[in-house]
Structure 1
Amino acid sequence: MMSRPAFRIASQLQRRTFSSTSARLSSPYHYPEGPRSNLPFNPLTKFFWLRYWGFMAVGFFAPFGIAVWQLKKNL
Protein backbone atom coordinates (compact mmCIF):
# COMPACT_ATOMS: atom_id res chain seq x y z
CA MET A 1 0.00 0.00 0.00
CA MET A 2 1.11 3.51 -0.71
CA SER A 3 1.28 5.97 2.11
CA ARG A 4 -1.00 8.95 1.97
CA PRO A 5 1.68 11.59 1.02
CA ALA A 6 3.07 9.35 -1.73
CA PHE A 7 -0.44 8.79 -3.07
CA ARG A 8 -1.04 12.56 -3.12
CA ILE A 9 2.17 13.16 -5.12
CA ALA A 10 1.31 10.38 -7.57
CA SER A 11 -2.16 11.80 -8.15
CA GLN A 12 -0.71 15.27 -8.76
CA LEU A 13 1.69 13.87 -11.34
CA GLN A 14 -1.14 12.13 -13.14
CA ARG A 15 -3.08 15.37 -13.42
CA ARG A 16 -0.13 17.22 -14.88
CA THR A 17 -0.48 17.32 -18.63
CA PHE A 18 1.69 18.86 -21.27
CA SER A 19 0.06 20.93 -23.94
CA SER A 20 1.19 23.30 -26.60
CA THR A 21 -0.59 26.34 -27.86
CA SER A 22 -1.02 27.10 -31.51
CA ALA A 23 1.58 29.42 -32.99
CA ARG A 24 0.63 33.05 -33.18
CA LEU A 25 1.40 34.26 -36.68
CA SER A 26 1.41 37.86 -35.48
CA SER A 27 4.65 37.16 -33.63
CA PRO A 28 7.81 38.37 -35.43
CA TYR A 29 9.63 35.26 -34.19
CA HIS A 30 7.54 32.65 -35.98
CA TYR A 31 7.75 31.91 -39.65
CA PRO A 32 4.85 30.66 -41.75
CA GLU A 33 4.73 26.90 -42.12
CA GLY A 34 5.62 25.10 -45.30
CA PRO A 35 8.57 23.89 -47.33
CA ARG A 36 11.54 26.27 -47.60
CA SER A 37 9.87 28.80 -45.29
CA ASN A 38 12.56 28.48 -42.62
CA LEU A 39 15.56 28.97 -44.92
CA PRO A 40 17.44 32.31 -44.90
CA PHE A 41 17.83 32.16 -48.69
CA ASN A 42 15.67 31.38 -51.70
CA PRO A 43 16.71 28.18 -53.48
CA LEU A 44 14.25 28.82 -56.31
CA THR A 45 16.18 31.70 -57.90
CA LYS A 46 17.74 31.34 -61.32
CA PHE A 47 21.44 31.15 -60.36
CA PHE A 48 21.12 29.61 -56.92
CA TRP A 49 23.07 26.52 -57.96
CA LEU A 50 26.03 28.66 -59.05
CA ARG A 51 26.10 30.61 -55.79
CA TYR A 52 25.67 27.40 -53.77
CA TRP A 53 28.52 25.50 -55.43
CA GLY A 54 30.72 28.61 -55.39
CA PHE A 55 30.18 28.94 -51.63
CA MET A 56 30.92 25.24 -51.12
CA ALA A 57 34.10 25.39 -53.25
CA VAL A 58 35.44 28.43 -51.40
CA GLY A 59 34.69 26.82 -48.04
CA PHE A 60 36.44 23.60 -49.03
CA PHE A 61 39.50 24.99 -50.80
CA ALA A 62 40.20 28.04 -48.59
CA PRO A 63 41.99 26.08 -45.81
CA PHE A 64 44.22 24.36 -48.38
CA GLY A 65 45.03 27.65 -50.07
CA ILE A 66 45.79 29.30 -46.73
CA ALA A 67 48.06 26.40 -45.75
CA VAL A 68 50.00 26.60 -49.04
CA TRP A 69 50.34 30.36 -48.68
CA GLN A 70 51.63 30.03 -45.10
CA LEU A 71 54.18 27.37 -46.11
CA LYS A 72 55.50 29.38 -49.07
CA LYS A 73 56.03 32.60 -47.06
CA ASN A 74 59.57 33.70 -46.31
CA LEU A 75 60.64 32.96 -42.79
Structure 2
Amino acid sequence: MIAAIRSQATGQIARRAFSTSRAQMSSPYHYPSGAGSNLPFNPKSKWFGPGFVLFAVAGFGAPFGIAVYQTYRSK
Protein backbone atom coordinates (compact mmCIF):
# COMPACT_ATOMS: atom_id res chain seq x y z
CA MET A 1 0.00 0.00 0.00
CA ILE A 2 2.66 2.50 1.05
CA ALA A 3 4.95 1.35 -1.77
CA ALA A 4 2.20 1.93 -4.34
CA ILE A 5 1.54 5.44 -3.06
CA ARG A 6 5.26 6.18 -3.02
CA SER A 7 5.74 5.02 -6.63
CA GLN A 8 2.68 7.00 -7.74
CA ALA A 9 4.01 10.17 -6.07
CA THR A 10 7.43 9.64 -7.64
CA GLY A 11 5.83 9.31 -11.06
CA GLN A 12 3.88 12.54 -10.60
CA ILE A 13 7.00 14.41 -9.55
CA ALA A 14 8.94 13.07 -12.52
CA ARG A 15 6.19 14.06 -14.96
CA ARG A 16 6.12 17.67 -13.78
CA ALA A 17 9.51 18.26 -15.39
CA PHE A 18 10.29 21.79 -14.31
CA SER A 19 12.38 23.50 -16.94
CA THR A 20 13.46 26.95 -17.92
CA SER A 21 13.60 28.48 -21.34
CA ARG A 22 15.64 31.30 -22.79
CA ALA A 23 13.95 34.69 -22.59
CA GLN A 24 12.56 35.90 -25.88
CA MET A 25 14.47 39.07 -26.71
CA SER A 26 12.15 40.61 -29.28
CA SER A 27 12.03 43.91 -27.43
CA PRO A 28 13.72 46.94 -29.05
CA TYR A 29 15.19 47.72 -25.62
CA HIS A 30 17.50 44.71 -25.50
CA TYR A 31 21.12 45.75 -25.26
CA PRO A 32 24.14 43.58 -26.06
CA SER A 33 25.35 41.42 -23.22
CA GLY A 34 28.74 40.09 -22.28
CA ALA A 35 31.85 41.13 -20.44
CA GLY A 36 32.48 44.86 -20.64
CA SER A 37 29.29 45.74 -22.50
CA ASN A 38 27.81 47.52 -19.47
CA LEU A 39 30.80 49.82 -18.86
CA PRO A 40 30.68 53.52 -19.79
CA PHE A 41 34.26 53.32 -21.16
CA ASN A 42 36.21 51.05 -23.47
CA PRO A 43 38.77 48.96 -21.53
CA LYS A 44 40.37 47.82 -24.81
CA SER A 45 41.50 51.28 -25.94
CA LYS A 46 45.16 52.28 -25.73
CA TRP A 47 44.35 55.14 -23.32
CA PHE A 48 42.53 53.01 -20.77
CA GLY A 49 45.69 52.06 -18.82
CA PRO A 50 47.12 55.57 -18.42
CA GLY A 51 43.67 57.02 -17.76
CA PHE A 52 42.93 54.45 -15.10
CA VAL A 53 46.31 55.01 -13.40
CA LEU A 54 45.72 58.78 -13.40
CA PHE A 55 42.22 58.32 -11.98
CA ALA A 56 43.43 55.91 -9.27
CA VAL A 57 46.40 58.10 -8.25
CA ALA A 58 44.21 61.21 -8.08
CA GLY A 59 41.51 59.43 -6.09
CA PHE A 60 43.91 57.77 -3.69
CA GLY A 61 46.23 60.78 -3.34
CA ALA A 62 43.57 63.47 -2.87
CA PRO A 63 42.97 62.80 0.86
CA PHE A 64 46.71 62.91 1.53
CA GLY A 65 47.11 66.12 -0.47
CA ILE A 66 44.22 67.70 1.41
CA ALA A 67 45.74 66.63 4.74
CA VAL A 68 49.09 68.20 3.83
CA TYR A 69 47.34 71.39 2.73
CA GLN A 70 45.36 71.56 5.97
CA THR A 71 48.51 70.96 8.02
CA TYR A 72 50.67 73.65 6.40
CA ARG A 73 48.14 76.42 5.78
CA SER A 74 48.36 79.49 7.98
CA LYS A 75 45.78 79.70 10.70
TM-score category, normalised to shorter length: 0.5 to 0.7
**Structure 2 equivalent of residue 52 of structure 1:** 52
TM-score, reference length from structure 1: 0.62
Paired with 2:26 and 2:74, the residues of 1 have a C-alpha distance of 60
Number of positions where the alignment pairs a residue of Structure 1 with one of Structure 2: 55
**Structure 2 equivalent of residue 14 of structure 1:** none
Provide the identity percentage: 45
* Alignment of structure 1 residues 1-40 onto 2, 5 Å: 22-23=24-25, 25-27=27-29, 30-40=30-40
Amino acid in the other structure paired with 1:46: K
TM-score, reference length from structure 2: 0.62
Coordinate RMSD, CA, aligned: 2.2
Secondary structure of residue in 1 paired with 2:55: helix
Paired with 1:25 and 1:49, the residues of 2 have a C-alpha distance of 36
Larger Rg: 2
Distance 1:68 1:45, change over 3 A: same
Q: After superposition, give the CA deviation of every residue in 1:10-49 in whole Å (9 maximum; x if it has no partner).
A: xxxxxxxxxxx5455512xx53111210111100101210
